[in-house]
């Protein structure tokens, strides 16, 4: 068929408005004759359906009342353990009774419509969506009259000054949103890590000695000055935590490739990296001991902790920032300084 298309008349832009005749090549035979349903011809069948529907509505009534009784009768902490059905008895009974009741009301109404209500199709004519030429003319005329009466066309000074005022009137709506938040300033460049802050286990808050860690071990850690913040200001605590979380890992020194300038950032193969992914800021957490790879569970960026935490797979673009470590007088791991670069996801002015 498609080869014949060259012989067919092409529609041109002029014909765009013409109504296409769909009733060819076969003329419209009109609506198919109505077929009677069994409920239309057999009163017994119709009565049967009526009883069906009434049963559904009746059952729904019982279930709704059942739901109300269940609300008061079932203790809120009772549990159901019935094969795969397990959970809070009160919620489940309420849901089952009320849900089933709603469903039955709906099913009954639909059954009524489908089986008993007259099902002969009827026809409604469509009318063009837009105005008729006469209506169009009347509307335009009225509009012009209004424009002329207002002098909007003639009084240019009024028109322009009004448009100018209206153009700026929304500005305060934007300006007053200024106090939604502080300006970023240097907030993203710093964490609460500083020289001499101890590295503590993030669950027990205990400081860590190099001898506590065996090769292959990874500890989720935090700065020692974080815990005190929780009482002081829960918000500051969360915000600081979101930036200062670290992982401390001990790797066999022979397997470590130290990036230049970081020769003394580790202690006997113990290295410390930011736990916050440089992609969009999820805490990375899946460590594979044998390969020293750590994987972010959000988007699967993979970092090699033995090689300066450089990215070896996934959408992250930068290595995890490393925290320079040292040992204090009592033999505990401490930071040499804050991170030397912003932690977490990239941002425009980061550099």
Site for another protein in 89-118 (CB under 8 A): 90-92, 94-96, 98-110, 112-114, 117-118
CB of 51 to another protein, least distance (A): 17
- The pair phi, psi for residue 322, each rounded to 5°, is -105, 140
Site for another protein in 21-40 (CB under 8 A): 22-32
Using the rule CB under 8 A, is 173 a contact of another protein?
no
Phi-psi label, residue 314: left if phi above 0, alpha if psi -120 to 50, beta otherwise: left
CB of 59 to another protein, least distance (A): 12
Using the rule CB under 8 A, is 80 a contact of another protein?
no
Site for another protein in 265-284 (CB under 8 A): 275, 279-283
Residue with tokens 């003639």: 154
Of 290, 292, 295, the C-alpha closest to 256 is 292
The piece of 41-49, 161-169, 177-185, 205-213 that touches another protein (CB under 8 A) is: 177-185
Tokens of 251: 């790797």
Q: Binding another protein by CB under 8 A: which of 241, 250, 292, 293?
A: 241
Distances (CA, A) of 238 to 196, 207, 241: 22, 20, 5
Using the rule CB under 8 A, is 316 a contact of another protein?
yes
Could you tell me the end-to-end alpha-carbon distance of the chain, in angstroms, rounded to an integer? 62
Of 12, 6, 2, 102, the C-alpha closest to 57 is 102
In this structure, are residues 93 and 68 in contact, taking their beta carbons and an 8 Å threshold? no
The count of residues interacting with another protein (CB under 8 A) is 113
Nearer of residues 17 and 44 to another protein, judged by Cβ: 17
Q: Binding another protein by CB under 8 A: which of 311, 336, 337, 341?
A: 311
Q: Binding another protein by CB under 8 A: which of 81, 125, 232, 263?
A: 125
Using the rule CB under 8 A, is 298 a contact of another protein?
yes
Of 347, 312, 333, the C-alpha closest to 267 is 333
Using the rule CB under 8 A, is 76 a contact of another protein?
yes
Cα–Cα dist 351/346, whole Å: 9
Using the rule CB under 8 A, is 119 a contact of another protein?
yes
Nearer of residues 14 and 330 to another protein, judged by Cβ: 14
């Amino acid at each position: 068929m498609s080869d014949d298309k060259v012989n067919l008349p092409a529609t041109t832009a002029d014909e765009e408005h013409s109504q296409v005749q769909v009733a060819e090549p076969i003329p419209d035979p009109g609506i198919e004759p109505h077929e009677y349903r069994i409920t239309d011809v057999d009163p017994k069948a119709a009565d049967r359906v009526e009883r069906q529907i009434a049963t559904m509505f009746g059952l729904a009534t019982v279930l709704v009342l059942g739901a109300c009784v269940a609300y008061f009768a079932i203790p809120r902490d009772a549990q159901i353990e019935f094969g795969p059905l397990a959970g809070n008895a009160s919620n489940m009974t309420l849901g089952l009774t009320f849900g089933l009741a709603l469903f039955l009301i709906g099913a009954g109404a639909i059954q009524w419509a489908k089986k008993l209500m007259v099902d002969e199709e009827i026809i409604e004519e469509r009318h063009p969506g837009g105005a008729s030429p006469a209506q169009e003319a009347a509307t335009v005329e009225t509009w012009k009259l209004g424009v002329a009466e207002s002098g909007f066309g003639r009084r240019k000074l009024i028109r322009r000054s009004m448009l100018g005022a209206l153009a700026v009137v929304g500005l305060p709506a934007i300006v007053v949103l200024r106090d939604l938040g502080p300006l970023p300033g240097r907030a993203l460049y710093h964490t609460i890590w500083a020289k001499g802050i101890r590295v503590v286990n993030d669950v027990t808050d205990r400081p860590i000695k190099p001898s506590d860690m065996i090769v292959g071990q990874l500890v989720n850690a935090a700065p020692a000055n974080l815990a005190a913040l929780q009482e002081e200001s829960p918000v500051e605590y969360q915000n600081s935590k979101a930036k200062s979380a670290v992982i401390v890992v001990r790797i066999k020194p022979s397997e470590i490739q130290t990036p230049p300038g970081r020769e003394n950032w580790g202690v006997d193969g113990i290295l410390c990296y930011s736990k916050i992914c440089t992609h969009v800021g999820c805490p990375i957490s899946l460590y594979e001991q044998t390969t020293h790879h750590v994987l972010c569970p959000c988007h699967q960026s993979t970092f090699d902790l033995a090689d300066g935490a450089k990215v070896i797979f996934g959408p992250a673009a930068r290595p995890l920032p490393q925290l320079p470590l040292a040992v204090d007088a009592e033999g505990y791991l401490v930071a040499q300084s804050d991170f030397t670069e912003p932690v977490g996801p990239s941002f425009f002015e980061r550099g």
